[in-house]
Every structure is written in C-alpha cells, then in structure tokens.
Amino acid sequence: MTEPLVVFTPSGKRGRVAPGTTVLDAARQLGVDLDSVCGGRGVCSRCQVEPAFGQFAKHGIVAREEALSPWNEVEARHDRTRGMVPGRRLGCQAQIVGDMVIDVPADSQVHRQVIRKDAAIRAITMDPAVRLAMIEVAQPDMQDPSGDWERTAAALSQQWGIEGVEIGLDLLAKLGGALRSGDWHVTLALHQGRAGHPVRVVGVWPGIFTGPVYGLAVDIGSTTLASHLCDLSSGDVVASSGVMNPQIRFGEDLMSRVSYAMMNPGGAAEMTAAVRSALDELARGVATDGGIDPALIVDAVLVGNPVMHHLLLGLDPSELGQAPFALTRAGGLDLGAAELGLTAVSPAARAYVLPCIAGHVGADSAAVALAEEPDKSDALTLVVDVGTNAEVLLGNRERVLACSSPTGPAFEGAQISAGQRAAPGAVERVRIDPVTKEPRFRVIGCDLWSNEPGFAEAIAGVGITGICGSGIIEAVAELRMAGIVDGSGLIGSAEQTGTDRCFAHGRTNAWLLHDGTEAGGARIAVTQNDIRAIQLAKAALYAGARLLMDEFGVDRVDRVVLAGAFGAHISPLHAMVLGMIPDVPIEAVTAAGNAAGTGARIALCNRGARREIERLVSHIQKVETAIEPRFQEHFVAANALPHATAPFTQLRQRVGLPDVSYNERAGASPRRRRGIG
Amino acid sequence: MTEPLVVFTPSGKRGRVAPGTTVLDAARQLGVDLDSVCGGRGVCSRCQVEPAFGQFAKHGIVAREEALSPWNEVEARHDRTRGMVPGRRLGCQAQIVGDMVIDVPADSQVHRQVIRKDAAIRAITMDPAVRLAMIEVAQPDMQDPSGDWERTAAALSQQWGIEGVEIGLDLLAKLGGALRSGDWHVTLALHQGRAGHPVRVVGVWPGIFTGPVYGLAVDIGSTTLASHLCDLSSGDVVASSGVMNPQIRFGEDLMSRVSYAMMNPGGAAEMTAAVRSALDELARGVATDGGIDPALIVDAVLVGNPVMHHLLLGLDPSELGQAPFALTRAGGLDLGAAELGLTAVSPAARAYVLPCIAGHVGADSAAVALAEEPDKSDALTLVVDVGTNAEVLLGNRERVLACSSPTGPAFEGAQISAGQRAAPGAVERVRIDPVTKEPRFRVIGCDLWSNEPGFAEAIAGVGITGICGSGIIEAVAELRMAGIVDGSGLIGSAEQTGTDRCFAHGRTNAWLLHDGTEAGGARIAVTQNDIRAIQLAKAALYAGARLLMDEFGVDRVDRVVLAGAFGAHISPLHAMVLGMIPDVPIEAVTAAGNAAGTGARIALCNRGARREIERLVSHIQKVETAIEPRFQEHFVAANALPHATAPFTQLRQRVGLPDVSYNERAGASPRRRRGIG
C-alpha cells in the first residue's frame, strides 16, 4: 500500500508518511512549523489545523473526508470545554490515512509573522528565546533514587530532545510541588540564549500551561525609560509605558551625569540604583497597564546609549566622558533580569542587552540599525537618531558606517531663550505666511492651530509656556523661507523684513512669535542666539552625515530615516530647508518613530535577531568625529542657511517667491560666522 | 647544528628544543607541569627551576654551565627585591642553548601532590577549579572601538589560549580601574567548572597578583557546620573552624526539622535562612582565624546529608520525611556562592555542592566515598559514618553499594538516662576491671582517668555532668565483657554479678558508674533502657552493613572504616564487642575522622574529583533499608550482645576469663527481645 501523501499549506512542504501518523508527527517529520506545548498529549490545543478536502490539481491530490481519522473523544472534550473553530482538528489527534492537504493557520505556527505597525512593510518572525513545553515526569522510585530535577531533565531529553537544561534554585524550589500537584505533569518555560549555552528553565507550572508568557522591550533613554510589554507567543504589544529617568536629578544631559560620576565617589552607583529602581517600577507599571501578572514576564531586552548602558550595568561611565571614550563592555550581554534589579518580573527571568557600537554610539543605535536594517537595503540609507547627540548610520548591503555628532541639546529645546521640553504648553509647530509674514502655531495639548476658531478657548486649559525642539526648528526654517532670516542666519530688522515682529535685541534682532504677557503668560521670541544654537546643532548633525558620506565615497544618499521620538516630530521638509540632512527627494525622507524601542522589540521576539545585530555591530565601520579633521571642515561649511539650496528653491517657487531673502534682495553681503568649533 | 636535548625532572619528560628556547617554553612544549601566573613576563616568579650541571649517564647528558643563558637583569632584580633560592633560575628568563637537565621543584608545579595529614598514605593532586593568569591588554583605540572586556577576552585567548570566558557585573565594574591602575596589565582568577561550561572570572587585580587565593570546604552537619579554609595553590589548610547549626532551635534531629517544615508554612525557608547565615558567619570566622581577607575566598565546596543539603539550597525537605524519600535535586551542583547567601567571600566566588547518593544517603556520604575511595580498593571495604542515621558504604574496585540505617540518636547520647552531647563534663571513655568489676572513666575536658592521682582536683573545674555516645558504648561493651550484662543485654543483680554497683531499678537492674550527688553533682548510671537503646542502634547499624554484604554476596569484609567525628571517638574494639560492625581483625578497623570534610577538601583542591564522585555516585547501587524485608531479619537477629563472638572470646581469654557472663554461668536462659521493628 502506498503511503499517504500530505501537503501542508501555507509552507507547501509535502511528503509521504506512514498511515496512521498524526498530523503533528507528520508536521515534525516534514519540518513544518506547527506549535505544541503538551508534546502531543491532546491538552494544549496549540496544534490546531484545518484539513482541506476536495481536488487539488496544484498539489496533485484528491483529499477525501475519510483520509483523516474521525473526530475523537479528546477533540470532542476540547470542543465542549474550550470550543474549537469549525472545520479545525487537533493535529495531535487526527491521523492521516489517505492523501491530504492540511492548512496550518497563523495562530498554530510558532514562527508566525507579525506585521510591524510602525513599519508596515516589514514583519517580525516570531522566534522568542522562551518557549513552553509540557512533559510527563517519572515518579520517584526508592529502588532507583534520583532527584525530581534529574527525572525532569531526563523527560525533557526523551520527550523534547532538549539536553543539558539548567534550573536556578528559585524555580528548583517550586519544581517538587508543581510535579506533585500536576500529577507528574509539568509545563516549563525554557530559555535558549546563545547557541551552545545551556537552556535555562525560567518558569514552572503544574500540569499544562499554554501561556502566554511575556517579555519586556525597554529603551533606557537619558530622559525617559520607554517599554513595550509583548506577548511572546503572538508578538502582540500588550501595553506600552514610560517613566522618567530619575537620573535627571544628577544632571539633565549625559555629560553632566558622566561628570557627576567623575566628581563624586559612589556617584555612578547612585545613578545605577536610580535607573534600576525606575526600571523595576516600569516593569510593574506596564504589567498593570497590560492587566497581567508581572511574574509571567520571563524575558527582557534592553537598549540605551553608552552612558545609560553602563550605568544600567553598574559600570562607571567616566571613561566615556574623555578620549578615547573607552567602553568597559561593548558586546551583547546575557544576564539574569535580577542582576539588573528587576524584582517585579519572574525571579528566573532573563535579560539581553544589545551591543554598543562605539563609545558614543550605543545599544540604542544598534537597535535602530536592527529596526531600520540599512544593511539589508539596496538603497544607500542614512539613519539619523536625533537627541542630545545625534547618532548617524549610513549604509547599504555592502557596508554600514556609524558615527555620533555632538549636536548639543538645542534640538531638545535647551539653550533656547524660550525653549522647553516637549510637554503640554510647548509650541511644537510653526508656519509663517511668506507673503503676510504672519505666523501661526500649534501647541502640545491642543489640536487647533493658533489662527483657527476656538483656539483661545481650547488653549485656556493648557497655556502657552515655551517652544520645544521641533517648534524652534520649524520656526527657524520658516523664518528663512519667509525671508526674515538670511543665508548666514541673521535676523533682519523690522525695516529690512517688513514685519513688526522683528525687533532690536541688544546688538542683533529678534522675532516675536507670541506675547502672552498681558494675560500673565509667556513671551516667546526667537533671538539671534537661538538661531546660532540651532545652526551649531544642525551643522554638527550635517557634518556627521557628510563625514560618513565621504568615508563611503558618495556625495548623495538615496533615502533618509529620521529616528527617535524627536525624529517623529520633525517635519522632513523643514529639516531639509535648515540643512540638517543632505538633499534627497522629500518623499525619500521618512520618520521611524521610536526605532530603538522597535529594535528592542524585534530582539525580544526573535532570538536570531540578537546574533544578527551582534554580527552587524562587529562589522559596522566606526568613525570617530572627535578626531576627524574633515568633521570640523564640514561643520564650519554647514553653518549657512540653507546649506541645501534645492528644496529651498523649490519651496519658494511653490509659493511664488524668489529664492532670496531680505538680505540678498537688499544686496547686503551675508556675514560669515567665524571661529565655530 | 643539533637542537639541545633537555630532560625535566622529576617527570622525566625529555625532548629537543630550538636553541634559545626559554625553560618555560620548553616545559610547555614538552608538557611539563611548570607554574606561571604572568605568562612568562618575568614578574610572577612562579616558574623557578633548578638546573643541574654535570654528567648524567642515566639521561645520556653532559650538562655544562654554558648550556643555559647567563643570569639576566630580570633575575637579578627579582633576587634583589624578593630573594631567590641559590641555584635557581626563572624559567621564563633562562634560555636553553645546550643539553640540560632541569629540575622543577614541588613549589613550582601547578599539579603538586599534597600529603593528606588525616590519611598519610594518600595524597591530593592539586588541580583547583581556580587559577591565576596575568595578561597584557591592548589599550582602547578610538579608531577601532571595543570594550575593555572584549580586549581582555582577546588577550586571554591570545596569551593563554582560553576562550569564551564570562565575567559577572560585579567584577566587570572593577575591570576598567584595574586595567588602568595596572598599566594595562591585569591578573584574573579564572574558574573552570564543568567541562564545556564557560570559564568565569572570579577575581580581578591590577598588574601582577600571585595569590594565594582561597577556597572553603564545608560539611553542613545537623549539629555543626565545619569548615576548612584552603590555600588553593599549596592545598594547605590555613584554618579550620566550626559553628553550631542554628537550625537546632527548629528541632534537635533531622526528622524533627523535616516535621517543622511539613507543619509550618514558611518553616523550610526559616531554616534555610538560619543555615545560610551560619555559613556566612563561618566563612567570615575562618578567614579571621586564618588571618586572610575573606574577599580572597573564590571557591567553596559544600557537603551535607540530604535534609541539610536541601535546606541549604532552599528546597523543601518534606518529601525526604516520607516514602519514597524523593530528593528534589540529586546531582552535583555548580552555583554562585552568593546564591547560598555567602556575602563574606568574593561576590564572584563559586560554589560546588556534591551529589546526594539517595534520599537517605547524602552529599556528605558522597564526600566520605571520595575521601575513603572504596571504589579504588582491592580489599572489600565497609565504611560506616555514624550519626543519627548511619550511612553505610560497602565496596571495592568491582562495585560499591550504599544504604542508610536508622540508628536513632542513642549513639549521640540522646535517649540515654544520663546521656548528653559530647561536651566538657561528659564521660567519654569507660573501663571495667573484669576481675574487681570496678570502673574507671575519663571525662571530656580532663586528661586524667578517674582512678589516677590528681583527678579530683583536675575535674573540679570541669564537673562530671553525664555520659556521651562513645562513653555509653564503651560502658555497655565493658559491662558485657565484665560479665555484668548477659548475651541478651540484661543487667544482672548485685548478687548475680558480684558487684554492689548493680542495683534494682523498677523491674530491672541498673549499674552505677558515678555518684556525685553528695557534692551536688550528677548520678550517672546505666539502666536497662539505656542498654536496650544501644542494642536497637547497634542492631540497626549492623543490619545495614549485613544487608549490603548480602547484596554483595559475601559474609565477611576485609576492612572497616569508622567515619565521622563520632567514629573517631569510638574504640574499634568496643564497637566490635558490641557487634556494631562485622567481625574483622581488629587491626583492619580504622577511624577516618571527618571523612566528609576531607572529601569536600579533595573536591576543592581537585576539580577532576568533582566529576569523579559524580560518576561514582551514579554507579553506586543504592539499597533502601525501609523496604527490604531482610533488613528487619538482620535487625532482629543482631539484637544480642555480642552478636560477634570471636573478638569477645579473644578479649576474655586475653584477661584470663571464660567466654561467658553471669547469666550463662548461672545457667539461666537468655531472654529474647520480641517485637522490635
């Protein structure tokens, strides 16, 4: 008798199996991805399949109803107690007796594809480090004494082929009780870290437990710790949450925290304790938000810039504040979550910290690279992660370069006369009519533009308190486009520019955006110093990108990705008008949102991604801006507004204005800024 | 030109090397055991050798002075600063240019043999899990950024061939500072656990550090935690120290502690916390005794009976109190010392816990097996570790059997009318003159026998408070030999025995050893119940040994080892008279002292011994006395005194008495004890 032919969809894998083989066993024999926690005992219901009947010319199969064994008692019981989708069978119960076509629905696949909402074109293939496995363990025998754990390990070997498993004392203490209350059946959560490293038990449940278990993806930022809580079987983000980084009390920016560590004995340890306690609070909070027991969190992936990375790990960051900017530990790191002070999660939970790329380019940049994949792109891609420092990646399939540009905090609203953090009350968008030269703006916490009806009422509860990073960038770009600021960055006088909003401010001019002082509110103006600060920052960013382009041997890139929460708020058009980024067609500029958080989530859901980013990081060519003379040259050259003329010209033309500003029109020679750097 | 021939003694290894090869390199090439911490940089002075000059007919070598390069500046500096034994050279400096004979003195060998004082015929080969290695680490380079740790790992690979090393966050935090203050030289203590497992850094020192580092060998007893502090390079025991097991407040014996765990939620955890805190205190204390910094303790080996083993590990021992006596964890265990609550030692210190043999035969018995090596003996060896339970091992090269006998606490002085722990004031030795029937005795804390001049004065400061285990055993054996107790264990009356020390006590007789009541002291008598308690205990012990002999298919053994602190105090002769152990020539009975502690020390000094005992334990045939009907038969049959007649007869003959007691002489039939079991 010919063995039945079976074709699995959507994989298309096919082969002949012995008559009476269960669908689950057939899937295993043919290498088909079909989930199972109970190992085929009919208790977990993870192996549900949809048999298809009829003629399948494509597969050369006529599948008859009788080609599968009849619905059995196990399936009937499962349908009664938990319900089954009509047309489905349990793969471990249904036996193949004739030619068959069997579909494995997405929810029965271990390595299912998860569409990333933040980048719809790409998907994450689920392959988390933690899986669940139920086993039946031999009972103790006085004649042949061995430990509960030894019999459990033997069962893992026999029933799942998993060898050399390790268990910590915490879970070992639970094992005996779980075995006995589960009638010698137990479900283990198993964590496979680096290949060749032992599998570790990270969870123990009596009898059958089908999950889900959860993982945390955390981006440790200087200002905020942001986390995603992910279901490790579906990949779903169950909750996202953030807390302030309490290290802020030791210094607003990275360098002031490094100074604190250098100046105060025990200062680094204080900052470590602060960030770890915030991380623990975050884990507890996101579990509450997701409505889950935090003890079900069994894995975590963490990223952060080099200083945050070192402080999280309890390493003194002092060396990162001075040349040669030496990291204590660069490589990816497998840890117990408890070693990072995570007490909210399972005590056996693991943690993975992504590698740092260089002393100024951290694990957060590695995560950005993992999320944005410049190394898998045919198009030469520039990825810019804007913050206090801007980390810049440039590359394609051939190679990837990285550097960090010292932009300073102006892009975050610091060192700006009316600047403030992005918080309710901050002006975040600015538009200036190039003809009337009148501005309108939007404020965080209010959906209306300032010139729209109802704005006054809507803003009453929020207030207008200052201008944040994206607001000042748009203001400067709009001022330039409206001809109020010239190519060297100088603000013209009211006479020169034809708007009363320009006023004398010391030996230079300033421009008034909003005056709320009559009502006791803020007065928001853009001063000449503000524009200088933005010029310095954008010149640094541009010079970093340009330096990488030099190293790559190109003078243009194919696309630009603006990463980071800040990147999500910058208008690509204004960024290009300012000359923050090299000229590309405007449609080739995209915002990637919190790409570092996304990268952490990818590494959480796919353990292969951890090795992939380690390989990429080791191959990335690191460029140190601090010692590159060309960086200084690019920096000085990039000071002018606009450095990039093409989009500026196009924009001016679009609104019917000549490509000149007050100064050019008046014939005055643009001043040159000297001595920067 | 012929390459020089070099012969190393005492190994006898020989071979030709390129002219100019250093002695250290030659030793490495020829596989000769020559120590080095600095890897040949001339700073550690561990590689000292003694070149021999002259004619060596045996080796076929004529060694001339000029066959070795002249004394160099490194050696001269070392001689000035630290002194060198005349005639020695630094192996890393002296170059071989002609035929040579070179002796490696014992203190320059890594794997030196250490004579065990407790068993002079055997030696420990030093091969501790921890070794020291100095490396020179590349300085950080901005052009090619990598972490301090990554450069350190690369240096370990290049300079010592050690790959895949892991370091915990604690020591990682120290690494950067050590590298910089040691001018990019650092000495690491490296721990190699199980083969295939990663090497771990357990110590970091700037520059060169030649040690020593230390290890702790601890026997966790129900009553006492006993430790040896060992120098891990020499194997010397630097200090030995013990503390009471504070678990005693939860129950005197093992079963009462198991009951406490079963009856009280959280009871096991309380006992775990108690023993861990005592262990930590012990580590601190023994370091103080040894005059060393406890942070230099980098490894530990722990043994204990199954209940102590489980409580130390934080595992509930309840299952050990009832059939089938299931262990939660049986196998040998590699841990961080911190996981056992050891805070006194280096935070990166490791710990190894020996395997348990069965639910009643613990890691302490495994350590006894490692120390006494029945598996390496041609003679069939019976090893008895006497305590509340007696663990019995029987075996030779062919195979080894093990069981546990429930002797109860009588051997420790409990359940004895005048019984007490072995402590100052306790009678520990008893002799009865077979002719006069008058006793003499010795008391712990006093060096004189009770009939020696000056005893009264000497004992005044100590007092006579009771009788301990060894005292009651000797008393019963002596009573039997003096004919005051008959073969069934009955004490005769004053009339029957001819001594006034016998007196009526309820429906039976008792025998007075000492009456101090007039001076307000204790009255110490041996009652019929005391003798019954000893009979039960010795019958259980004998039955266990006998059961193993049955399983082995023999009716005699070649030698007997009495292990345990108690074993060290029992007189082998009295043990045999009592019938505690099978008949063997008296000279074939030896006391092994704290064999469990010795076994722990062996596993500390030689990591191969850890794998060896795991192999042996897995091969030991476990016999469960609780379910063996023959155990009951042997137990009942072993009740009489003496069970073993041969030594009794010899002894009686030696003092010129017939081999009978009052009862046999009087013709009365010995009573039989019924219903035991």
| pLDDT given at position A32 | 92
Nearest chain A residue (CA) to B325? A142
Contact B232, B605 (CB under 8 A): yes
pTM: 0.87
For residues B302 and A183, give the distance between their C-alpha atoms in angstroms, rounded to a whole number: 33
Q: What number is the average pLDDT over the span A92-107? A: 93
For residues B415 and B438, give the distance between their C-alpha atoms in angstroms, rounded to a whole number: 25
On chain A, the residues whose CB falls within 8 A of the CB of B624 are 142-143, 145
| pLDDT given at position A675 | 34
Interface mutation vs chain A, best among B175, B275, B328, B334, most A CBs within 10 Å: B328
| pLDDT given at position A76 | 92
Any idea what the Cα angle at residue B372 is, between residues B324 and B234, rounded to 5°? 120
Asked if B146's CB is within 8 angstroms of A315's CB, the reply is: no
Residue matched to tokens 């988390």: A128
Distance from CA of A270 to the nearest CA of B (A): 14
Asked if A145's CB is within 8 angstroms of B329's CB, the reply is: no
Q: Assess if CATH 3.30.420.480 describes domain B214-353.
A: yes
DSSP A430-498: EEE-TTT--EEEEETT--SBTTSTTHHHHHHTT---EE-HHHHHHHHHHHHHTTSB-TTSPBPPHHHHT
For residues A375 and A370, give the distance between their C-alpha atoms in angstroms, rounded to a whole number: 9
- And the tokens for A80? 């009664």
Exposed (0-12), middle (13-18) or buried (19+): which is A421, by Cβ within 10 Å?
Answer: middle
**Adjacent-strand bridge partners of A191:** A130, A200
Task: Please compute Rg for chain B using Cα positions.
Answer: 30
CATH class for the domain made up of B113-206: alpha beta
> Which residues of chain B have a pLDDT value below 70?
1, 115-122, 642-677
For residues A404 and A412, give the distance between their C-alpha atoms in angstroms, rounded to a whole number: 16
For residues B36 and B318, give the distance between their C-alpha atoms in angstroms, rounded to a whole number: 49
Beta-carbon contacts of residue A609 (< 8 Å; ≥ 6 apart): A370, A602, A603
For residues B485 and B447, give the distance between their C-alpha atoms in angstroms, rounded to a whole number: 28
On chain A, the residues whose CB falls within 8 A of the CB of B139 are 324
| pLDDT given at position B672 | 36
Say whether pLDDT at A560 is over 80: yes
Asked if A175's CB is within 8 angstroms of B331's CB, the reply is: no
Q: A123-125 and B100-103 as β-strands: parallel, antiparallel, unpaired?
A: unpaired
Say whether pLDDT at A413 is over 90: no
Asked if B330's CB is within 8 angstroms of A146's CB, the reply is: yes
On chain A, the residues whose CB falls within 8 A of the CB of B622 are 143-145
Beta-carbon contacts of residue A518 (< 8 Å; ≥ 6 apart): none
Q: How confident is the model at residue A411 (pLDDT cuts 50, 70, 90)?
A: confident
On chain A, the residues whose CB falls within 8 A of the CB of B146 are 327, 330
Beta-carbon contacts of residue B518 (< 8 Å; ≥ 6 apart): none
- Encode pLDDT of A461-518 as tens digits: 889 999 998 999 999 999 998 889 988 999 999 999 999 999 999 999 999 999 999 8
| pLDDT given at position A387 | 74
Q: B89-90 and B113-115 as β-strands: parallel, antiparallel, unpaired?
A: unpaired
Choose among B141, B149, B319: nearest Cβ to A329. B149
Nearest chain B residue (CA) to A341? B169
Exposed (0-12), middle (13-18) or buried (19+): which is A236, by Cβ within 10 Å?
Answer: middle
Q: What number is the average pLDDT over the span A327-339? A: 96
On chain B, the residues whose CB falls within 8 A of the CB of A151 are none
On chain B, the residues whose CB falls within 8 A of the CB of A351 are none
| pLDDT given at position B649 | 66
| pLDDT given at position A659 | 54
| Residue B165, number of CB atoms within 10 A of its CB | 20
> Could you tell me how many helices (H) and strands (E) chain B has, helices first?
19, 32
DSSP B294-329: GGGEEEEEEEE-HHHHHHHHT---GGGGSTT---S-
Contact A47, A22 (CB under 8 A): no
Choose among A147, A313, A622: nearest Cβ to B145. A622
| pLDDT given at position B655 | 57
Asked if B315's CB is within 8 angstroms of A624's CB, the reply is: no
| pLDDT given at position A119 | 45
Asked if A150's CB is within 8 angstroms of B326's CB, the reply is: no
Distance from CA of B329 to the nearest CA of A (A): 4
Say whether pLDDT at A673 is over 70: no
**Adjacent-strand bridge partners of A449:** A442
Q: Cα–chain-centroid distance for residue B27?
A: 34
For residues B513 and B526, give the distance between their C-alpha atoms in angstroms, rounded to a whole number: 7
CATH architecture, domain A5-108: Roll (3.10)
Q: So what's the ipTM on this one?
A: 0.86
Specify the length of chain B in residues: 677
Say whether pLDDT at A662 is over 70: no
Q: What number is the average pLDDT over the span A548-571? A: 89
Task: Please compute Rg for chain A using Cα positions.
Answer: 30
**In 3-state terms, chain B is what percent helix, strand and coil (to 5)?**
35, 25, 40
Classify each residue of A553-578 as buried b or exposed e, where b means 16 or more C-beta atoms within 10 Å of its C-beta. Answer: eeeebebbbbbbbbbbbbbbbbbbbb
Asked if A315's CB is within 8 angstroms of B142's CB, the reply is: no
SS3 readout for B149-196: HHHHHHHHHHHHCCCCCECCHHHHHHHHHHHHHCCCEEEEEEECCCCC
Interface mutation vs chain A, best among B149, B166, B169, most A CBs within 10 Å: B169
Distance from CA of B321 to the nearest CA of A (A): 13
Any idea what the Cα angle at residue A417 is, between residues A416 and A421, rounded to 5°? 55
Q: Nearest 5°: phi and psi at B313?
A: -80, -5
Q: At what angle do helices A469-481 and A528-552 cross, to 10 degrees?
A: 90
Contact A545, A382 (CB under 8 A): yes
Nearest chain A residue (CA) to B139? A326
Any idea what the Cα angle at residue B564 is, between residues B563 and B569, rounded to 5°? 90
Q: Cα–chain-centroid distance for residue B327?
A: 22
| pLDDT given at position B668 | 38
For residues B366 and B376, give the distance between their C-alpha atoms in angstroms, rounded to a whole number: 14
Strand intervals (E) in A163-257 = 185-191, 200-206, 214-220, 224-231, 237-244
Asked if A359's CB is within 8 angstroms of B325's CB, the reply is: no
Asked if B177's CB is within 8 angstroms of A330's CB, the reply is: no
Q: What number is the average pLDDT over the span A178-190? A: 97
Of A225, A228, A293, A221, the C-alpha closest to A253 is A221
Of B363, B411, B357, B384, the C-alpha closest to B220 is B363
Say whether pLDDT at A653 is over 70: no
| pLDDT given at position B450 | 95
DSSP B521-587: --EEEEEHHHHHHHHHHHHHHHHHHHHHHHHHT-S--SEEEEEHHHHHHS-HHHHHHHTSS----GG
Say whether pLDDT at A315 is over 50: yes
| pLDDT given at position A118 | 54
Question: Would residue A628 be called left, alpha or beta, if left means φ above 0 and alpha means ψ between -120 and 50 degrees?
Answer: beta
Choose among B144, B169, B328: nearest Cβ to A172. B328
Q: Assess if CATH 3.10.20.880 describes domain A115-206.
A: yes
Asked if B326's CB is within 8 angstroms of A176's CB, the reply is: yes
- And the tokens for A118? 């933040």
Three-state SS at B251? coil
Tell me the residue type at B575: A
Distance from CA of A145 to the nearest CA of B (A): 5
Task: Report domain extents, chain A.
Answer: 5-108, 115-206, 215-353, 373-409+534-665, 417-520
| CATH number of the structural domain A215-353 | 3.30.420.480
Choose among B172, B328, B357: nearest Cβ to A328. B172
On chain B, the residues whose CB falls within 8 A of the CB of A624 are 142-143, 145
Q: How confident is the model at residue A663 (pLDDT cuts 50, 70, 90)?
A: low
Q: How confident is the model at residue A1 (pLDDT cuts 50, 70, 90)?
A: low
Q: Say whether B214-353 and B5-108 share the same fold.
A: no
- Encode pLDDT of A217-261 as tens digits: 999 998 889 999 999 999 999 999 999 999 988 987 888 899 999
| pLDDT given at position A239 | 95
Q: Nearest 5°: phi and psi at A386?
A: -95, 125
Q: A559-563 and A589-593 as β-strands: parallel, antiparallel, unpaired?
A: parallel
Asked if B359's CB is within 8 angstroms of A146's CB, the reply is: no
Beta-carbon contacts of residue B479 (< 8 Å; ≥ 6 apart): B432, B485, B491, B511, B526, B531
- Encode pLDDT of B226-255 as tens digits: 999 999 999 999 999 999 999 988 987 888
Asked if A339's CB is within 8 angstroms of B142's CB, the reply is: no
Tell me the residue type at A108: S
Distance from CA of B528 to the nearest CA of A (A): 36
- Encode pLDDT of A343-363 as tens digits: 999 999 999 999 999 999 999
Cβ contacts below 8 Å, chain A against chain B, sum to 146
Of B346, B477, B406, the C-alpha closest to B627 is B406
For residues B365 and B138, give the distance between their C-alpha atoms in angstroms, rounded to a whole number: 49
Window from A18-27, A445-454, B617-626, B651-660 with minimum mean pLDDT: B651-660
Tell me the residue type at B527: T
Choose among B140, B172, B622: nearest Cβ to A326. B140
